[in-house]
């Protein structure tokens, strides 16, 4: 059997750079090397594409000397990836498929997907539209509301307004949303830049923290909730896992609680009645289809304790693949092993590419 040429891209220009490295390390350990010839592509925090020997090791220690700069031209060249030798481009490998594992900006937001579309490459996961909508928390909420899916009340502000009229912003928030509120960069994940605010002073700190990471800031009503996640797998006919429940080690599922402390609990399946589990799975598929999802996504929920109402928090189009991440664990509980899950995702990437190839891009009017 001829091996497929697979590129795994990780790192990136994002506050989630370190998380991406964790995901890549985990996934690279389970890829079937009998099926795939793997090219590791690391993207530095400055945006340079690099490859070579032991790329993941080099990136984990931020030691890039000795790695080779790469270029993927934004045009169809049969998947040809080039290495740079001075000003000269030299062919390195012809790729069959790409597995993007860059979380956050410039990887999960549609920008990398756009480049792969221009290069006419098969790639794992959602396309440009779903990636962009899933990444932008405010726009995502608008799409959910249009599809009659419940989301928490929120307000949106831009960096210029926060920087120049922060007291006006605070007064506007306090007039519409009770404390506690969550302040979030509109485009980021892994809880980077998120603050739980219980007073005017903490709200000010939260706004100033969030605008460091994005030019748009979402302020959301705080919900005393059970946090659950559902994994979705597929293209036109996606399936959903049972929900898993997260019991954070801190006030909410912070970056530290997710990746550093090791004290948060993951319960699979979630401690919910069968009807609620079914509802969450159905809502997850609905949300995935509403943004035109493909391949994979993890849909996060907040179930309000007082009312039992499930609110969709967000859709992660490149969910974490770390050793503690819920996406693969939920499928493992359903009988799909981690290596098999990777195979399925790559197969779905080829299927999506076939669908794209059926689209005509020229129009000739009959004379």
Specify whether 140 is located in the same domain as 286.
Answer: yes
For residue 181 the two structure tokens come to 């509120």
Flag whether 142 is in a domain: yes
**Domain membership of residue 25 as a residue range:** 4-123
Peptide bond into 180 cis (omega under 30): yes
CATH of the domain at 169: 3.30.1490.20
Structural domains of the chain, count: 3
Flag whether 361 is in a domain: no
Flag whether 364 is in a domain: no
Q: Kindly give the interhelix angle for 137-146 and 274-290, rounded to the nearest 10 degrees.
A: 110
List, for residues 306-331, the tens digit of each pLDDT value.
999 999 999 999 999 987 789 999 99
For residue 130 the two structure tokens come to 């779903």
Flag whether 71 is in a domain: yes
CATH of the domain at 57: 3.40.50.20
List, for residues 266-276, the tens digit of each pLDDT value.
899 999 999 99
Specify whether 329 is located in the same domain as 256.
Answer: yes
CA-CA-CA-CA dihedral for 167, 168, 173, 176, to nearest 10: 140
Q: Tell me: pLDDT of 261 over 60.
A: no
Over range 5-27, report the average pLDDT: 94
Specify whether 195 is located in the same domain as 338.
Answer: no
For residue 359 the two structure tokens come to 């689209």
Specify whether 103 is located in the same domain as 137.
Answer: no
CA distance 152 to 334: 30
Specify whether 234 is located in the same domain as 320.
Answer: yes
The percent of residues in the chain predicted with pLDDT above 70, rounded, is: 95
Residue bearing tokens 């401690």:
271
Specify whether 91 is located in the same domain as 167.
Answer: no
pLDDT tier, 192 (very low <50, low <70, confident <90, very high otherwise): confident
CATH of the domain at 239: 3.30.470.20
Flag whether 365 is in a domain: no
Specify whether 74 is located in the same domain as 137.
Answer: no
Flag whether 315 is in a domain: yes
pTM: predicted TM-score of the whole model, two decimal places: 0.91
Flag whether 349 is in a domain: yes
Q: Tell me: pLDDT of 257 over 60.
A: no
Specify whether 108 is located in the same domain as 91.
Answer: yes
Q: Tell me: pLDDT of 69 over 60.
A: yes
CA distance 10 to 320: 12
CA distance 24 to 42: 10
Q: Give Cα 294 distance to the centre of its chain.
A: 13
Specify whether 139 is located in the same domain as 268.
Answer: yes
Specify whether 137 is located in the same domain as 267.
Answer: yes
pLDDT score at 322:
84
pLDDT score at 367:
59
For residue 92, what are the contacts with CB-CB under 8 A and spacing of at least 6?
A: 39, 51, 68, 70, 81, 82, 83
Is pLDDT larger for residue 147 or for residue 360?
147
Task: Decide: 293 and 317 in contact? Cβ < 8 Å.
Answer: yes
Flag whether 14 is in a domain: yes
CA distance 20 to 195: 22
Specify whether 141 is located in the same domain as 247.
Answer: yes
Specify whether 172 is located in the same domain as 301.
Answer: no
pLDDT tier, 191 (very low <50, low <70, confident <90, very high otherwise): low
Residue bearing tokens 């797998």:
233
At CA 45, angle to CA 40 and CA 46, rounded to 5?
105
pLDDT score at 15:
82
Helix (H) or strand (E) segment spanning residue 68: strand 68-71
Q: Tell me: pLDDT of 25 over 90.
A: yes
Peptide bond into 269 cis (omega under 30): yes
Residue bearing tokens 């925090």:
45
């Amino acid at each position: 059997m001829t091996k497929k040429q697979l590129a795994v891209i990780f790192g990136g220009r994002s506050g989630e750079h370190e998380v991406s490295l964790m995901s890549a390390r985990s996934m690279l350990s389970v890829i079937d090397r009998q099926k795939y010839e793997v090219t590791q592509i690391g993207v530095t925090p400055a945006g340079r594409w690099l490859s070579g020997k032991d790329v993941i090791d080099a990136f984990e220690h931020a030691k890039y000397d000795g790695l080779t700069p790469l270029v993927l031209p934004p045009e169809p060249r049969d998947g040809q990836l080039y290495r740079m030798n001075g000003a000269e481009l030299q062919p390195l490998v012809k790729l069959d498929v790409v597995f993007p594992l860059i979380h956050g900006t410039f990887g999960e937001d549609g920008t990398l997907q756009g480049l792969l579309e221009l290069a006419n490459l098969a790639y794992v996961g959602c396309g440009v539209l779903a990636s962009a909508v899933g990444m932008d928390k405010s726009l995502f909420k608008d799409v959910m509301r249009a599809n009659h899916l419940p989301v928490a009340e929120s307000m949106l502000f831009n960096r210029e307004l926060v920087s120049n009229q922060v007291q006006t912003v605070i007064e506007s928030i306090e007039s519409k949303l009770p404390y506690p509120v969550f302040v979030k960069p509109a485009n980021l994940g892994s809880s980077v830049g998120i603050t739980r605010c219980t007073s005017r002073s903490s709200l000010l700190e939260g706004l100033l923290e969030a605008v460091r990471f994005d030019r748009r800031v979402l302020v959301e009503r705080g919900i005393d909730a059970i946090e659950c996640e559902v994994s979705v797998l597929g293209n036109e006919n996606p399936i959903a896992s049972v929900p898993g429940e997260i019991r954070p080690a801190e006030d909410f599922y912070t970056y530290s609680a997710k990746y550093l402390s090791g004290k948060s609990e993951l319960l699979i399946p979630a401690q919910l009645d069968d009807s609620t589990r079914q509802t969450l799975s159905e809502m997850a598929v609905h949300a995935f289809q509403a943004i035109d999802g493909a391949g994979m996504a993890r849909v996060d929920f907040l179930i309000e304790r007082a009312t039992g109402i499930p609110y969709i928090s967000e859709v992660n189009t490149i969910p974490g693949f770390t050793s503690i991440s819920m996406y693969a664990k939920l499928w493992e509980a359903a009988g799909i092993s981690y290596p098999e899950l990777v195979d399925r995702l790559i197969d779905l990437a080829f299927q999506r590419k076939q669908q794209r190839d059926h689209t005509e891009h020229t129009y000739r009017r009959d004379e």
